Structure 1
Amino acid sequence: MLSSNTSRHLARSIADSLERSPEATAVLGDQHLTNRQLDLMSRACVSALNENGVGPGDVVALDSALDSRFVAALLAVVRTGAAYVGLDFADTGQATTVADSVQPTAWVTRPGRPVPAGAATVLLDDTVEPPDPARATEPANAVTAPDDAFQVVFTSGSLGARKAVVTTYQGVLNRVLWFLDAYPLRPGSVVAVHKDVSLVGSPVEMLTGLLAGAPLLFLDKHTVLDPEAFWSALAEHRVTHLFGSPPLLQLLLDGAAEPDATTLDVVTSSAQSLSASLAGRWTKKLPGTRLLNMYGLTEAASNVTCFDVTGTATAQDDGSVPVGTPITGCDVRVLGPDGQPVPDGTTGEVHVGGVCLARGYLDRPEETAERFVSDPDGARLFRTGDLGRWTEHGLEILGRTDTQIKVRGFKVLPEVVEAVLAGLPGVWLAAVIPVGDPLDAQDIVAFVEGAGPLDVDDLARQSSPRLPTHARPGRIVQVAELPRTVSGKPDRARLAELLDTDRPAAAPAADGLTATEELVRGIWLRVLEKDTADRADDFFQTLGGHSLKATNVIAVLRRETGVKVPLRLIFDHPVLADFAAALDAFTAARESGARG
């Protein structure tokens, strides 16, 4: 296993890998790059970054729209010794937050993309050969200290003044090198790259392939959310390694009857609780694929424990799958209120230490000191807030010490959502609960108490711009009075009992809709569990839909119409009337092609 210290730092290790087979494929997807071409593109980017004074201690903003060029930009940043923050430059909210709080030294994107006014910009186009040979000279690899900043990651549950975690070079390198040592990639391996570039798990995909000399297959979100297209891409490119999550595994299993993915060697599942039933289905469907269940967090550079599900009886049991034992370089402890380890089988708070730990929260010293603590011997630990216990299969996660929940893998603090709703006109009090397992919820429901009848759809429209997509309630229910505990706080257990008794009734037909609009409206209302929707409603922005709900809509449409509607149609046309028109046009074109 390679050392994770600066004697053989990340940039040199990747360069060695690229130089071993210069004409081998490095990147697949929207653009095909050889190792040599990737190296040249990266060097040209390094030169441009150097011209803008980028070096260790700086942060570079990388645009998600770079697609497969993102890996060249990431390698360039590593070669300068700087850190990076990934985001969608077209999202003005994200861009403003990053510009104000992180203050990147440079912004790397494609021609024609928006950048903040006055920002130093580096453009990467489709050119794989640098126009100026002088810019292709070997860059001087910056020497980085082990705890130098590698990535700035905004936590998914933060709203308003968003909280950013600063991970380190040694943290991410430790995670990648552990995997390559424990599960070496064989010749012919291909790694799928599909995670949002703003997430802590994103560089793990890319660096795993780069260090192992395996091609990276870049998949866009439309392919990832379309099970048939996803399986097809995995089979076509003979993908062997997929870093996933329970929702992704569920989507792939439900979306294809007989997937042709026999080349898959290793699939990981993290970010959410993996149920034993889902693990059992996966191992039965793909018995030749190794399934790893992992536990991790942004503050520890992704995963810190691992459990090999393959071939274990646990996959057939009820409940959730354990998350296993610590990976190399990570110290995982279950501690009691006194800060001492609890006996095996006893519940305590999970603490994480080791080289994986982040530096802390950007410009938030008090919060950093509160969550990053020291044990009696001076070892640095992170208080995760997760409740867990040690079992014969390793660590088992049981819940939270606070009210934080996870919705589709994203952290959500109910109190923050409740505050947004309670601030709307006419609302006195709000309470939010997850639908299903608090650690593995697919949606949240809000209950509101107010002055007289409230238009809950209007409340959803007003609150949507103030909440990220994953924190928008799928339903808002008005109650005469919120049930309370003896301390006066909302009684969430009693609220959960109301879910089955307050399902929305079937929506009446709307006037003035075309037949297709009425069809689409009915499906949207069923999938989203809404009372009303009109022609001008946006599936995502005003109705609270998300990518998994969009996938459900397309699945229902395909089943009810017999037309293989492409998933991207709802992303390209999210407004109901526009989507219905696009659906008519797609159907007509398909029928015309069939006749021709």
Structure 2
Amino acid sequence: MPEFVSLDALVRKTAAEAPQRSAVIDGDRNTDYARFDDLIDRVAAALQADGLLPRDVIAICALSSLEYVVTFLGALRAGVAVAPLAPSSTPQDFAAMLKDSGAKVLFMDATTAAAMGDAAQAPFKVSFDDSGWGRPFTAWCAAPGTKPKPISIDPQWIFNIIYSSGTTGTPKGIVHTHELRWRQYGQLDPLGFGPDAVTLLSTPLYSNTTLVCFNPTLAGGGGLVLMKKFDARGFLELSETHRVSFTMLVPVQYRRIMALPDFDRFDLSSYKMKFCTSAPFAAELKADILKRWPGGLTEYYGMTEGGGSCALLAHEHPDKLGTVGQPMPGHEVRLIDEEGRQVPVGQIGEIIGRSPVMMQGYLNQPGKTAETFWHDADGNRFVRTGDIGRFDADGFLTLMDRKKDMIISGGFNIYPSDIESVLTTHPDVVEAAVVGFPSEDWGETPVAFVVLRPDAAIDAVALKAWTNAQVGKTQRLNDLVAVETLPRSAIGKVLKRELRDLRQAAQ
């Protein structure tokens, strides 16, 4: 591993070597590396002027923008950690995360400030779009050419605090150090990030999903194209206009893009690699992307908490599209049973993993941190994923379900993904989610929520009967509910908690 270099230092290096190279494209603003680096300096200097010291924290809650990017990098240059918060949060969760982070400065735009209302409280407040909420960014920023006090970054300082999606409760602050991020971007990526990279980001900047491409692009001296709000056709238009070579998308975005009737008219020949993570990625969708979208396709499986991650280079293993690939180099992934014993190949177990890339812990939650780590007989520390999976004879991992989503009916383990896979083979089904509900007779029983095609020739009653004829006796659905859409987080995870609440409210 090369010697540690902070991300902002790599940006400064590119600014010195290629000052006119494009760094960030935000709408009609195309900012080169010289101005980009100057803006980062100005943010760092302004934070220092506000009295922030290394290891302090700022919070950002806003849509993607040039201001967001330079504030993130400027904080890092000042040795200050960043807590990027989701604009989709409830005001209650937002206030809890803001307090938990200990942020001394809060950056927002007019949209997010209005949505959070009185929950948006911090010692200092800065408005990215000069909307009148807090201090205007343009006035707060130090004057052009201002240099901050030089800071020597300790690799063990906090780089960011990423709050979990909150699909299972109040979000937890996942602490990543500079060293962890360096291990991800320090060697860049064997899949091609470098000075010619043009990366289109349409997932939000508060998500670890996005940072998986954001960090290596800037570390390698490439350029970012920002998309504030995703839409399929707009994504393809940006890809064609800017000759995009890399992107990170979640499965629901891929599905919407590939479903466009005129997808094939767009020139996507500039693509070198596309990435996917965060949610189940259907094999048939991967196959369609490989067939019609130039460049490679890599799926990552792992936790924001770190641990063991897998990668599927789908273009190299078209016979393994139903898996999430093999453990990445330097990553150990095991499957264990309820007693912590490693299960044999071909059997199902909980996925645990370890690697040099592991979170420091959950901020202010030592108990939750201890619950997430698991130690083997030799004292090696693993991250428990809460996912259930199975390795095949070639070492490829197939995901079954979240452990908490497994349904125990009449003493039998039922994996919702098995039923979901059957449902999505029906030509009238767009997508499906299966959730366990309490049952006096069986303990739990499966209920399906299904999005049907607009011209579907089948209704919910008939589809339930069709499904129950395809699955095993213990897997039969108690009910099937047709819905217009499945509730999802901003990075595409189905919010099964909301589906449970939806049905319970209707009963």
- Shorter-chain TM-score tier: 0.7 to 0.9
Aligned to 1:511: none
Aligned to 1:436: 420
User: Is the 8 Å Cα contact of residues 305 and 358 (structure 2) preserved in structure 1?
Assistant: yes
Per-residue CA shift, 1:82-129, capped at 9, x if unaligned? 221212569634531223322212112457973834531245559899
Q: 1:136 aligns with which of 135, 138, 146?
A: 146
Q: Does 1:204 align with 2:205?
A: no
CA–CA distance in structure 1, aligned partners of residues 168 and 279 of structure 2 = 21
Aligned to 1:501: 461
CA–CA distance in structure 1, aligned partners of residues 199 and 310 of structure 2 = 21
Query: Post-superposition shift, 1:191?
Result: 0.6
Aligned to 2:22: 25
CA–CA distance in structure 1, aligned partners of residues 359 and 491 of structure 2 = 31
Query: Post-superposition shift, 1:292?
Result: 0.9
Identity over the aligned pairs, expressed in percent? 20
Change (3 A) 1:32 1:334: same
Secondary structure at the residue paired with 1:378?
Answer: coil
Aligned to 2:505: none
Query: Post-superposition shift, 1:25?
Result: 0.8
Q: 2:238 aligns with which of 227, 233, 239?
A: 233
Change (3 A) 1:107 1:187: closer
Change (3 A) 1:270 1:365: same
The code of the aligned residue for 1:69 comes to E
User: Is the 8 Å Cα contact of residues 238 and 261 (structure 1) preserved in structure 2?
Assistant: yes
The code of the aligned residue for 1:233 comes to L
Per-residue CA shift, 1:332-373, capped at 9, x if unaligned? 222344434433333322112122111222222222111112
- TM-score computed with the length of structure 2 as normaliser: 0.75
Aligned to 1:304: 309
Aligned to 1:582: none
Q: 2:257 aligns with which of 244, 252, 272?
A: 252
Change (3 A) 1:529 1:369: closer
Bigger helix fraction: 1
Q: Does 1:492 align with 2:446?
A: yes
Query: Post-superposition shift, 1:404?
Result: 3.2
CA–CA distance in structure 2, aligned partners of residues 340 and 202 of structure 1 = 35
Change (3 A) 1:107 1:294: same
CA–CA distance in structure 1, aligned partners of residues 376 and 68 of structure 2 = 39
Aligned to 1:283: 290
Query: Post-superposition shift, 1:163?
Result: 2.5
User: Is the 8 Å Cα contact of residues 59 and 103 (structure 1) preserved in structure 2?
Assistant: yes
CA–CA distance in structure 1, aligned partners of residues 10 and 390 of structure 2 = 37
Q: Superposition pairs for residues 89-104 of structure 1, below 5 Å?
A: 92-104=91-103
CA–CA distance in structure 2, aligned partners of residues 188 and 268 of structure 1 = 17
Aligned to 1:106: 105
Secondary structure at the residue paired with 2:153?
Answer: coil
Change (3 A) 1:186 1:247: same
Q: 2:273 aligns with which of 266, 274, 277?
A: 266
Bigger strand fraction: 2
Per-residue CA shift, 1:3-38, capped at 9, x if unaligned? 4xxx42333223222322111110112222110111
Q: List alignment gaps of at least 5 residues for structure 2.
A: 131-136, 409-415, 425-429, 451-458, 465-480, 493-507
Aligned to 2:158: 149
Secondary structure at the residue paired with 1:398?
Answer: strand
Query: Post-superposition shift, 1:313?
Result: 3.8
CA–CA distance in structure 1, aligned partners of residues 96 and 26 of structure 2 = 30
Aligned to 2:411: none
Q: Does 1:362 align with 2:370?
A: no
Q: Superposition pairs for residues 415-426 of structure 1, below 5 Å?
A: none
Change (3 A) 1:171 1:501: same
Change (3 A) 1:78 1:256: farther
Aligned to 1:46: 44
Aligned to 2:387: 386
Query: Post-superposition shift, 1:66?
Result: 5.4
CA–CA distance in structure 2, aligned partners of residues 66 and 353 of structure 1 = 32
Q: Superposition pairs for residues 309-348 of structure 1, below 5 Å?
A: 309-314=314-319, 320-348=321-349
Q: List alignment gaps of at least 5 residues for structure 1.
A: 406-412, 415-432, 449-481, 505-526, 531-539, 550-596
Give the count of matched residue pairs: 440
Aligned to 1:421: none
CA–CA distance in structure 2, aligned partners of residues 14 and 339 of structure 1 = 44
Query: Post-superposition shift, 1:68?
Result: 2.4
State the Cα RMSD in Å: 3.9
CA–CA distance in structure 2, aligned partners of residues 502 and 87 of structure 1 = 43
Per-residue CA shift, 1:452-491, capped at 9, x if unaligned? xxxxxxxxxxxxxxxxxxxxxxxxxxxxxx74344xx232
Change (3 A) 1:396 1:546: closer
Change (3 A) 1:9 1:128: same
Secondary structure at the residue paired with 1:84?
Answer: strand
User: Is the 8 Å Cα contact of residues 170 and 355 (structure 1) preserved in structure 2?
Assistant: no
The code of the aligned residue for 2:150 comes to A
Per-residue CA shift, 1:211-255, capped at 9, x if unaligned? 11111000121xx22x22211110000000011222222111111
